[in-house]
């Protein structure tokens, strides 16, 4: 799956990104384009920096004044998709793609993580590390229970 930026299908196109994407937004009458995005879980969450840099860099190449606006909303992806699909509270999200999401939203196809999202890394709490030392075969690892979250 690719990571995508999504925008609401019902917005009017206003700005063409020079980085091979079209960014649709808001009313033509606006003097300063405000693009609302969801809020990181906390101020130390550095994962968001990259995702916010992309539209910042692309929009800085245009002559249109713009502002990325933090909404203060901390949302799970399903809620973000719902709000964006209805044109409420947020104007852009970044997410993995699915048929359902693409039917509701307009994808801007940018492999934000260049396929790295498909890789899995085992993360172990320091206090449990001893249990994993020397375990490298499927049979040895099958005694453990593993899980992964979703967006």
Instruction: Per residue of the chain (151 residues), give pLDDT as tens.
Output: 444 455 544 333 333 333 333 344 443 444 788 999 888 887 787 777 888 888 888 888 888 899 889 898 888 888 999 999 998 899 998 888 888 888 989 888 887 777 666 667 778 889 989 998 998 898 998 888 877 665 5
Decide: helix, strand or coil at residue 7.
strand
CA 9 to chain centre: 17
DSSP 3-state percent helix, strand, coil across the chain (nearest 5): 30, 20, 50
Q: Phi and psi (nearest 5°) for 68?
A: -85, 125
3-state SS of 51-115? HHHHHHHHHHCCCCCEEEEECCCCCCHHHHHHHHHCCCCCCEEEEECCHHHHHHEEEEECCCCCC
CA distances from 120 to 37, 96, 98, 126, 136 (A): 27, 15, 19, 19, 15
Distance CA 131, CA 56 (A): 45
Length of the chain: 151
Residue 14's pLDDT is 32
Residue 26's pLDDT is 41
Is-above-0.75 flag for pTM? no
Distance CA 102, CA 86 (A): 14
């Amino acid at each position: 799956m690719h990571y995508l930026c999504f925008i609401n299908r019902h917005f009017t196109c206003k700005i063409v990104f020079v980085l091979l994407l079209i960014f649709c937004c808001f009313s033509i009458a606006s003097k300063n384009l405000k693009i609302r995005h969801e809020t990181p879980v906390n101020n130390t969450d550095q994962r968001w920096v990259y995702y916010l840099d992309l539209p910042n860099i692309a929009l800085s190449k245009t002559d249109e004044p713009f502002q990325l606006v933090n909404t203060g909303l901390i949302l799970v992806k399903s809620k973000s998709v719902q709000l964006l699909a209805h044109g409420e509270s947020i104007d852009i999200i970044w997410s993995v793609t699915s048929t359902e999401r693409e039917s509701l939203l307009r994808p801007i196809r940018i492999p934000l993580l260049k396929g790295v999202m498909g890789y899995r890394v085992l993360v172990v709490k320091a206090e449990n590390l001893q249990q994993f030392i020397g375990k490298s075969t499927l049979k040895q690892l099958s005694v453990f229970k593993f899980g992964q979250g979703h967006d």
